[in-house]
Structure 1
Amino acid sequence: MSEKIKFHLDENADPAIAAELRRYGIDVTTTQEVGLLHKSDEEQLKFICESQRVIFTQDTDFLRIASYSQNHPGITYCQKGTRSIGEIISGLSLIYEVFSPAEMIGQVEFL
């Protein structure tokens, strides 16, 4: 079996997203689960780099980070309020099916 993307959801992501991704067999962590609630974006970035997880965020600060560094395992971004939970889950599931972890390195995918 080929290597698959693992996701990390930042603190603003609805917990229902993680629950549904897990139902599809997708490996996902949340900021709350790994003890990073209210931690800085830099600490979140350190976690995703160490654990090789693509972050899903609705925080534009990660777009700023991506603009000056491609040293991350990947960022998926959706502007808050523009997509339903179902649309976000569908988008992340599609990224999971289409991209490998290596293809996501240093990339930003917009939902």
Structure 2
Amino acid sequence: MHFNSIIAVGVMLSGAVVSAAECGGYGLCGAVPASSRNQLYAARQHVCGDGLYKNDGYYHAPGGGRLSWPGGFDQQRCWDAFENILNQCRPEGAGLGNHSGSYNWYGKLYTVRGCSNSPYKE
């Protein structure tokens, strides 16, 4: 058995779950404003770092984007959910790419919209 196969079997037996964000809105935002990756990370910092995550809410990011989240979860979950979306849907160096994404945490939806015409409206 190859080393990679052993790791894969180990992960399956351990019950580990690999989570993925759903990405959408590929391409340019058109004539509407768009937030850069850095602006979306700054919005994440504000939401997760300043306690906004404690209650359901949304935050308009500089540049035209928007983050939304379910309240009632801990701070680490806020960091991780938005990190998953940004890393998978707005990877570094990929240009605009997918400008929106969502992350479902046991039926609770975190969303990032990079521009005002992105899907995943509340």
TM score, norm. by length of structure 1:
0.31
Q: Which has the larger radius of gyration?
A: 2
Which protein has the bigger strand share?
A: 2
